[in-house]
Amino acid sequence: MRRCDRVRKVRAALTGMMVVLALATGCTVHGRPSPQRPDLGSLDVGGYSLEPQHEPAVDNEQYGRVVESVRLGEVMADPSESDSTLTFSLSGFSAVPLPTPAKAGAYLAAPVRSVLEKRGMLAGFAVGRTDKAVERTALVGAARLLTVLVLRFPDPTAAQRAAEEIDSVDASVSPENVSVTIPEYPAAHGHWRPNVPTIAVSLAQESFVVTLLAGHTSADLAALTTLARKAFDAQLPRLRGFAVTPREQFAALPLDRDGMIARMVPKAPGRWPFPAVAFGTEQENAGWDSAPQASGVVYGTHATVLYRGVGKPNPPELMAFSGLEALMRFPDVAAARKSFAKAQDKAAKDGLPSIPGPAGVPDVSCSKESGDLIAQLFTYTCTVLYGRYVAVLFGRTLHDFQQRVAAQYGLLVHSERGR
- State the burial class of residue 328 (Cβ atoms within 10 Å of its Cβ: 0-12, 13-18, 19+): buried
pLDDT score recorded for residue 288? 47
Select the more confidently predicted residue: 156 or 140. Answer: 156
57's CB contacts (< 8 A; 6+ apart) are none
Confidence (pLDDT) at 21:
57
In this prediction, residue 371 carries a pLDDT of 61
Lowest mean pLDDT, pick from 18-27, 279-288, 399-408: 18-27
CATH, range 61-239: 3.40.1000
Nearest to 326 by CA among 12, 14, 11, 72: 14
pLDDT at site 19? 46
DSSP state of 328: E
Mean predicted confidence (pLDDT) in 380-407: 94
In this predicted model, what pLDDT tens digit does every residue of 118-138 receive, in sequence order? 999 999 999 999 998 876 555
- Residues 247-252, mean pLDDT to the nearest whole number: 96
Confidence at residue 164, expressed as pLDDT on a 0 to 100 scale: 98
pLDDT of residue 33: 52
b/e sequence 269-296, b meaning 16+ C-beta within 10 Å: eeebbbbbbebbbeebbbbbbbbbbbbb
Question: Residue 347: is its pLDDT beyond 80?
Answer: no
Structure letter (DSSP) for residue 135: -
Please report the pLDDT score of residue 304 as a whole number.
95
CB 297 within 8 A of CB 321: yes
Per-residue pLDDT reduced to its tens digit, 366-388:
998 776 655 567 889 999 999 99
Q: What does the pLDDT read at residue 418? A: 58
| In the chain, where the domains are located | 12-56+259-277+316-417, 61-239
Q: Which residues pair with 204 in a beta bridge?
A: 209
Over residues 44-57, the mean pLDDT reads 92
Q: Please tell me the predicted confidence (pLDDT) of residue 9.
A: 40
**Across the strands, what pairs with 390?**
328, 385
Q: CA 254 to CA 256: how far, in whole Å?
A: 6
To the nearest whole number, what is the mean pLDDT of the chain?
A: 86
| Interval 164-193: pLDDT, tens | 999 999 999 999 999 999 999 999 999 999
Task: Let me know: does 296 contact 262? Beta carbons within 8 Å.
Answer: no
For residue 7, the model assigns a pLDDT of 34
Specify the pLDDT at position 416.
Answer: 79
Half-sphere exposure of 241 (CA within 13 A, CB side): 8
Q: Provide the 3-class DSSP secondary structure of residue 403.
A: helix
Average pLDDT over residues 259-271: 93
Determine the pLDDT at residue 250.
97
Rounded to the nearest 10°, the torsion over CA 125, 53, 25, 227 is 0
pLDDT at 4: 37
Give the model confidence (pLDDT) of 210-237 as tens digits.
Answer: 999 999 999 999 999 999 999 999 999 9
Q: How far apart are CA 201 and CA 236, in angstroms?
A: 14
| Between 83 and 6, the higher pLDDT residue | 83
The residue among 142 and 277 whose pLDDT is bigger is 277
CA dihedral 272, 127, 88, 24 (to 10 degrees): 40
| 381 burial level (CB within 10 Å; 0-12, 13-18, 19+) | buried
Q: Are 231 and 212 in contact (CB under 8 A)?
A: yes
**Tens digits of residue pLDDT in 12-44:** 444 445 545 555 433 333 445 555 566 788 899
Q: Quick one: 246 exposed, middle or buried, by C-beta within 10 A (0-12, 13-18, 19+)?
A: exposed
pLDDT in the model for residue 314: 80
| CA pseudo-torsion sign 130, 132, 136, 142 | negative
Q: Which residue has the higher pLDDT, 105 or 23?
A: 105
Residue 417 to residue 419: CA distance in whole angstroms? 6
Count the alpha carbons within 13 Å of 177 in the hemisphere toward its beta carbon.
Answer: 20
